Amino acid sequence: VWFNVQDYDAPVRINFDTSKPKFWKSFFSRSLPYPGLCSVQVSGFPIHMPFSEVRPLIEAVHSTGVHTIDVSNVEFALAVYIHAYPQNVLSVWIYVASLVRNR
């Protein structure tokens, strides 16, 4: 597990080279060793669309196929962000994912 110590949090401005300590810091260390946590494997999609009506948004989420995973211990995640622009223009971001706990 790493955490970002850069001045930026926008993905386009972040340097993702975790080997550089001035950009990323390891959460675990000698004083706080890795406890052997189980892994959660994230499969998903970000969707970005203009908003005009709900039906195309539902169809876009459905077309990802994230819901078709055939595993008994699957959990799903959904997040939506809407940004308003002038002249009643709405930009919609939808994040959909399936999560499977691995040991």
| pLDDT tens per residue, range 51-99 | 999 999 999 999 988 888 888 888 999 999 999 999 999 999 999 999 8
Q: Are 92 and 60 in contact (CB under 8 A)?
A: no
Look at the block and give the residue holding tokens 């080279």.
17
Check whether 16 has a pLDDT greater than 80: yes
Q: Are 97 and 40 in contact (CB under 8 A)?
A: no
CA dihedral 11, 56, 71, 34 (to 10 degrees): 10
Domain boundaries, the chain: 2-30+38-100
Q: How high is the pLDDT of residue 81?
A: 96
Check whether 103 has a pLDDT greater than 70: no
> Which sign does the torsion angle of CA 100, 97, 27, 19 carry?
positive
What CA–CA distance (Å, rounded) separates 78 from 98?
Answer: 9
Chain-wide mean pLDDT for the chain?
87
SS3 assignment, position 11:
helix
